[in-house]
Structure 1
Amino acid sequence: MSTASDCDQPPENTEQTETIPIVDVEEPLALPPPPPEDEWRPIPEHTNVDASRFSFSLCGITPVILGVFSLLLLMLCGFFGYHYFQSVQESESKMKSLIQQTESLQNKEENFLQVLKALEQNKEILQQLQKQNEYITEALQELNVEQGDRCGPSLSHWVQYRDHCYHQTVQIVSWLECPDLCISLNATFLKTERSRLMYIMKLLAANHTWLGLSYNEEDNQWKWEDGSLPSPGLSSSENKSGCGRDRDL
């Protein structure tokens, strides 16, 4: 029979519990060494902000500088390229002008050679004409000699010498009267050179004759009637008689 005390006691746990101890095998991590005492200073808060601003400013300025240098390089390339092409064009124009000048000089040289050939031909033709002229002159002189005096039989006191006829008056007249007398005879006052005068004087009957030569006091020179000067050594003599006149054949 049970009593009340027996009812109040809890029943005993007859089951036994086994406890297993847990052991931590890993060793604890080593702590880092403490920093030196001078690094225990407080870090200012604005340091990170300034560094970020400086890096941002460098990242923004670098492309600007590179762009400016690229623009300057492009401008320099354009400047030198412009001057290069301009110098090339100038050299081409100078080369063209030199080629044109060379061609013109070649043309002038060809023309000059042609002119020289023409001059040589003309020189040969002139020499031939001179020979023909000499031959014709000799032939005319021989013909005049064969035909005799061509001054005309009706004219007295006329003497032929080469291609001229010379007349001398019989009466004595003054030098001033000779020009009028020459005009009346359709002749001119005698004008000749010293070498030719010697032959004429041999043909004339008189030993003295007037020439168309007078002394000009203003110029202090002897001059012919037409104003020309005589050859050296030929002068008018004083106290001469007769008038000398010549007439072309």
Structure 2
Amino acid sequence: MSDASDCEQPPENTEQTETIPIVDLEPSLALPPPPPEDEWGPIPEHTNVNASRFSFSLYGIIPVILGIFSLLLLMLCGFFGYQYFQSVQESESKMKSFNQWNESFQNKEKKFIQVQKLLDQNKEILEKLQNQNKNMTEALQELKAKGGDGCGSPLSHWVQHRDHCYYQTMKTVSWSECSDLCVFWNATFLNTERSRLMCILKLLAVNQTWLGLSYKEKDNEWKWEDGSLPSGLKWRLPKPSMDFQGKCVYAGVHTVGIDNCTMSSSCLCEKPVCA
């Protein structure tokens, strides 16, 4: 019995085992075949050390060049910045001067308008004076056209104005000799001022002739020979002072001035109208 039990075979395992094939996940790298022996060259005994040194020095020079270039760029930017700052300041100064010029121009424009108004007023006055002068000239021509008048022949160059006749001498003498020269013409040296004096000067068309007016040192005044003070001519004469010692007054058509009494000039004589 025991032998029979011992001879019993174990039960067979009916379960089938599944075999999993092992796959190589990483493909093997194919190595290139070695070159044939006949293509192998000789191994160099010495390597090129200079090439490695050159590449090393080149890498050291490049930063230096870049640094110099950056420095030059900064200097260039600073230069143009300074130029821009200077141009801005010049523009401000020019604008300031332009504003000042504009203000002065406006002021001049206002003054010009005022002067223009004064010129218009003076133009009207001048037209009136020209009309008066024209009337006086016509009256003088009528007197000269006559065969004779209260002052004598028209060829004697005497000019009548109201109740007096006036004459400018041809001979030139010093101021102190005018009285004697006028006596020669049966007249007197013009030694007083009348309101018609300026009209007489225009009628005679005198050219620097002595008047009976001089500086009196004793009184420190401009006075006529009769002792009267000038009125109509006062604004044409300088302020009296001791600097005018020996100075006398002469007159022209549109001027009144002073000169040394010793200078030679013509004299202005007057006499009453002949009856």
TM-score category, normalised to shorter length: 0.3 to 0.5
After TM superposition, the score normalised by the length of structure 2 is 0.38
| Higher Rg | 1
After TM superposition, the score normalised by the length of structure 1 is 0.41
Identify the structure with the greater strand proportion. Answer: 2
